[in-house]
Chain A
Amino acid sequence: MSGNEAMAEAAIRAGCDAYFGYPITPQSEIPAYMARRMGQENRVFVQCESELAAINMVFGAAATGKRVMTTSSSPGISLMQEGISYLAGAQLPSVIVNVMRGGPGLGNIAPSQSDYFQGTRGGGHGDYRTITLAPSTVQEWVDMMPLAFDLADQYCNPVMILADGILGQMMEPIEFKTVPGRKLPQKDWALTGCKGREQNIVRSLWLADGVLEDLNLKIQDKLREIEENEIICEQSQTEDADIVLVAYGVSARIVRTAVDLAREQGIKAGWIRPVSLWPFPMDVINAAAQDLKMFLVVEMSHGQMIDDVKIAVAGKCPVAFFGRAGGGVPTVEQVLDKIRELSILSDN
C-alpha cells in the first residue's frame, strides 16, 4: 500500500462521506483507491471532469454537512483556489490534500515543497487561511486524517494537507488506529431540507452594507482561536544546540538523519519540525532562538517557510537556508555539508 492509498483508506475510516477528484501524478492512486473503496462503503465517489468541478462539488456536498474531501497535486490545487476561497468565505468544513510536485507551471512529477506559500497564505483571494498540516511519514499522514476532518468540522474551515510525491509514492509499515474523535458542534447550518425549521443559506456573497466586514471579523476571531489552540510541532536535541534545523514533511526526515550524523561529529545540532504549517509554531521557534547561534531552514523549494521562521526569530539570530526545487531532493550529505560549513563559520 503506497502512502497515497494508506491516506485514502484513513480518510474513509475517518468518515469521509464523499470524495471528488481528478487524476494527476503523483497522487492518482488516491482517486483510483477511492473509486474502488467508496462504492463498497456505500459512499459517494465522483471522478470529475476537472479540478474546478471537483472543488465546487466539494462546496456543494460540504454545504449538506457531510464530510468531504478532494485531493490533487500542485497544478490542480492552483486550479482549485477560487473554490477554496469560496469554501473559506462560506465557512464550509472540507479537507483538501495536495501531494506536491515540481513547479512552477505544469512543472514535472517529481516531489516538491514549493506550494508552501499557496498552502499557508490562503491561496485564493480574500482574508482567510486554511488550517494546513504537513505529515512526514505515512503513519503520521494516516493518523492525521481523523484530525483533519475534526478540525474542519470544529472550525467550519477548509483544512489543507501538504504532502509531497515521496510520501505519496513511498511505502512503509503502518497501523490503522482507532482514536476517539473530538466533541464537535452540531452542523445546524447545513442544508438538509428545511421542512419544519427556518431555511438555512450557505453563501459567500454579502453585498449589504457592513455585513462582509462583520463576517471578516468573525473569520479573524476564529483564526486567532485556531492559532491559540491548534499548533502542532515536534523538536529534538534543541536544548544545548548551537544550530537548529527547521524542516517539514519529507525534508524533516532528511534533516533528522543529517542532525544525527552532525552530532556524531561533535556538532551541537538539533531540529524543529512544524507539523501545522498554519498555524505556524512561532513561539517554539522564537524561544529556541534565544540561546542559539543560528537556524538552518531546509526545504524542497528555494525558500518559502524560511519567511515564517524569520518572522518567528524576529532578528534574534541569523537564519540560513538550503533548498532544492524542481524535482531536486536535498540529500543527507548536502545538508550535513551545510551544517559543517555553518558551524565552522560561526566558530570563527
Chain B
Amino acid sequence: MDTNNNYHDEVTIAGFGGQGIILVGKLLAQTAMQAGIEVTYMPSYGAEIRGGTANSMIIMSSKPIPSPVITYPTSLVVMNKASADKFAPRVEENGLIVYNSSLIDKLPSHNSSIDVLAVNADDIAGEINNPRGANMVMLGAYLIKRNVMTVDQATEALPKVLAKRYHKTLPANIEALRRGAEVASKTG
C-alpha cells in the first residue's frame, strides 16, 4: 500500500440513480478509512431515487482534508453518458478515467494525458448473473488502476456499508469486484 506523504486522490463516481453510485462511493470511503487513509465522502443527494443523476465525491489523502468538495477530480469513475459528458472534461491532467463502455460509446474530449480505461461493466455484471453489480465491477477496476488499496480490502469493508438485509448478495458483489479487477489487470 502506497500511502506516503504525497498520496492524494479526488475521486468522482457518477451515473444515474439506481446504479449504486452512492453505495460504491461509501464502499470506497469505508475501504480507505479501514486502510488508515484520511478520507471524506460527499454524496449528491436528490429527491430522485431512480433515473436522476447521482454522484459521490471521495477525497483520499495522506494529509487531513480541508474541503470535501471536488471541482476537478483526479479520478473519474463514470457509469452513464450524461455523467461522462459532464465530468470527463473536468478531470485533471495525468488523471484517471474508468468508464462504463456498456453504456458510454465514446468519451467527450478530455485532456490527452489522462489514463483511460473502458470497462463493459453492465455486460460483465450480466455474465455473472448480478446485473446490479456493475458498480462493483467499476470499483474493482479503479482499485487495480490506482494500486493503493486492494480488492481484498474492499471486500472486508463491504459488509459495513451494505445493509444487513442485502448481506446475501455479498458473494455476488465480491465476485463483481474481482471481475472488474481482472479487466483492469489485463489491460495493465
Which A residues are within 8 Å of any B CB, using their own CB?
A: 25-26, 109, 165-166, 169-173, 250, 253-254, 256-257, 260, 329, 331-333
Closest B residue to A258 by CB, please name it.
Answer: B67
Q: Are B69 and A254 in contact (CB under 8 A)?
A: yes
- Provide the residues of chain A in CB contact with B65, threshold 8 Å: 172
**What are 21 pairs between A and B in contact, CB < 8 Å?**
A25-B47, A26-B45, A109-B45, A166-B69, A170-B43, A170-B68, A171-B40, A171-B41, A171-B42, A172-B39, A172-B40, A172-B41, A250-B68, A250-B69, A253-B67, A256-B67, A260-B66, A331-B69, A332-B69, A332-B71, A333-B72
Tell me how far the C-beta of A137 lies from the nearest C-beta in chain B, rounded to whole angstroms. 9
Complex CA–CA separation, A166 to B153 (angstroms): 27
Q: Are B41 and A170 in contact (CB under 8 A)?
A: yes
Cβ-closest 5 pairs across A and B: A256-B66, A171-B41, A331-B71, A254-B67, A257-B66
- Per the 8 Å Cβ criterion, residues 10-51 of B in contact with A are 26, 29, 33, 38-43, 45-47
Which B residues are within 8 Å of any A CB, using their own CB?
A: 26, 29, 33, 38-43, 45-47, 65-69, 71-72
Q: Are A170 and B40 in contact (CB under 8 A)?
A: yes
Closest A residue to B46 by CB, please name it.
Answer: A109
Tell me how far the C-beta of A339 lies from the nearest C-beta in chain B, rounded to whole angstroms. 14
Tell me how far the C-beta of A335 lies from the nearest C-beta in chain B, rounded to whole angstroms. 9
- Provide the residues of chain B in CB contact with A169, threshold 8 Å: 42-43, 45
Closest A residue to B66 by CB, please name it.
Answer: A256
Q: Are B41 and A253 in contact (CB under 8 A)?
A: no
Closest A residue to B59 by CB, please name it.
Answer: A172
- Provide the residues of chain A in CB contact with B42, threshold 8 Å: 166, 169-171
Q: Are A109 and B69 in contact (CB under 8 A)?
A: no
Tell me how far the C-beta of B42 lies from the nearest C-beta in chain A, rounded to whole angstroms. 5
Closest A residue to B44 by CB, please name it.
Answer: A169
Tell me how far the C-beta of A171 lies from the nearest C-beta in chain B, rounded to whole angstroms. 4
Complex CA–CA separation, A253 to B42 (angstroms): 14
Contacts between chains A and B (CB distance < 8 A), count: 52
- Provide the residues of chain B in CB contact with A170, threshold 8 Å: 40-43, 68
Tell me how far the C-beta of B38 lies from the nearest C-beta in chain A, rounded to whole angstroms. 8
Complex CA–CA separation, A169 to B22 (angstroms): 11
- Provide the residues of chain B in CB contact with A165, threshold 8 Å: 45
- Provide the residues of chain B in CB contact with A260, threshold 8 Å: 66
Known: A169-B42, A172-B40, A260-B66. 18 other contacts (CB 8 A): A109-B45, A165-B45, A170-B40, A170-B41, A170-B42, A170-B68, A171-B42, A172-B39, A173-B38, A250-B69, A253-B66, A253-B67, A254-B66, A254-B69, A256-B66, A257-B66, A332-B69, A333-B72
Q: Are B39 and A173 in contact (CB under 8 A)?
A: yes
Closest B residue to A334 by CB, please name it.
Answer: B71
Q: Are A171 and B45 in contact (CB under 8 A)?
A: no
- Provide the residues of chain B in CB contact with A257, threshold 8 Å: 66-67
- Provide the residues of chain A in CB contact with B26, threshold 8 Å: 171
Tell me how far the C-beta of A309 lies from the nearest C-beta in chain B, rounded to whole angstroms. 21
- Provide the residues of chain A in CB contact with B46, threshold 8 Å: 109
- Provide the residues of chain A in CB contact with B69, threshold 8 Å: 166, 250, 254, 329, 331-332
Complex CA–CA separation, A333 to B72 (angstroms): 10
Complex CA–CA separation, A140 to B136 (angstroms): 32
Complex CA–CA separation, A287 to B68 (angstroms): 30
- Provide the residues of chain A in CB contact with B66, threshold 8 Å: 253-254, 256-257, 260
Q: Are B45 and A253 in contact (CB under 8 A)?
A: no
A172, A253, A333 — which one has the most chain B CB atoms within 10 A of its CB? A172
Closest B residue to A259 by CB, please name it.
Answer: B66
Q: Are B29 and A171 in contact (CB under 8 A)?
A: yes
Tell me how far the C-beta of B40 lies from the nearest C-beta in chain A, rounded to whole angstroms. 5
Q: Taking A257-B66, A331-B69 as contacts, is the C-beta distance between A173 and B45 under 8 angstroms?
A: no
Tell me how far the C-beta of A99 lies from the nearest C-beta in chain B, rounded to whole angstroms. 11
- Provide the residues of chain B in CB contact with A253, threshold 8 Å: 66-68
- Provide the residues of chain B in CB contact with A171, threshold 8 Å: 26, 29, 40-42
Tell me how far the C-beta of B22 lies from the nearest C-beta in chain A, rounded to whole angstroms. 10
Closest A residue to B41 by CB, please name it.
Answer: A171
Complex CA–CA separation, A253 to B65 (angstroms): 8
Tell me how far the C-beta of B183 lies from the nearest C-beta in chain A, rounded to whole angstroms. 28
Complex CA–CA separation, A332 to B65 (angstroms): 13
Tell me how far the C-beta of B105 lies from the nearest C-beta in chain A, rounded to whole angstroms. 31
Closest A residue to B68 by CB, please name it.
Answer: A170
- Provide the residues of chain A in CB contact with B33, threshold 8 Å: 173
Tell me how far the C-beta of B87 lies from the nearest C-beta in chain A, rounded to whole angstroms. 15
- Provide the residues of chain B in CB contact with A173, threshold 8 Å: 33, 38-39
Closest A residue to B65 by CB, please name it.
Answer: A172
Tell me how far the C-beta of A112 lies from the nearest C-beta in chain B, rounded to whole angstroms. 13
Tell me how far the C-beta of A267 lies from the nearest C-beta in chain B, rounded to whole angstroms. 17
- Provide the residues of chain B in CB contact with A331, threshold 8 Å: 69, 71
Tell me how far the C-beta of B180 lies from the nearest C-beta in chain A, rounded to whole angstroms. 23
- Provide the residues of chain A in CB contact with B68, threshold 8 Å: 166, 170, 172, 250, 253
